[in-house]
């Protein structure tokens, strides 16, 4: 019975951690960076990004005038040789998306 309970605890913890990774998270040293974290935490735990690119969208008003609006930034985080580069979308100071890029 004790083995069954410990096996269930291990299985449950692996399942929960799997959902955190699927949600858009990555490890930076011992820190887990996740969607919803402030960008300041990303800077403190991982350092400065390799590049920062603006994200924009085009808005057309009722007169047909086009306006480009800056919606956020994509931070390219270099995680080291043989690790995936992380593409982190930041909007209003909060991480909104994390995507694996190519290996560094």
Mean pLDDT in order along the chain per 10 residues (104 residues): 49 44 79 96 96 96 94 95 93 96 86
Q: Which domain holds residue 72?
A: 2-103
Total domain count for the chain?
Answer: 1
In the prediction, which pLDDT does 92 show? 96
Q: What is the pLDDT of residue 2?
A: 53
Integer Cα distance of 66 and 28 in angstroms: 40
**pTM (2 d.p.):** 0.71
Non-local (6+) Cβ contacts of 90 within 8 A are 39, 42, 72, 73, 74, 75, 96
CA atoms of 7 and 21, how far apart (whole Å) = 21
């Amino acid at each position: 019975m004790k083995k069954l309970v410990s096996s269930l605890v291990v299985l449950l913890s692996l399942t929960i951690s799997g959902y955190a990774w699927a949600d858009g998270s990555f490890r930076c040293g011992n820190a887990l960076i996740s969607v919803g974290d402030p960008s300041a935490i990303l800077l403190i735990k991982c350092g400065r990004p390799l590049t920062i690119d603006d994200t924009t969208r085009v808005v057309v008003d009722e007169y047909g005038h086009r306006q480009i609006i800056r919606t956020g930034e994509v931070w390219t985080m270099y995680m080291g040789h043989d690790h995936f580069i992380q593409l982190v979308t930041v909007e209003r100071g909060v991480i909104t998306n994390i995507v694996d890029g190519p290996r560094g």
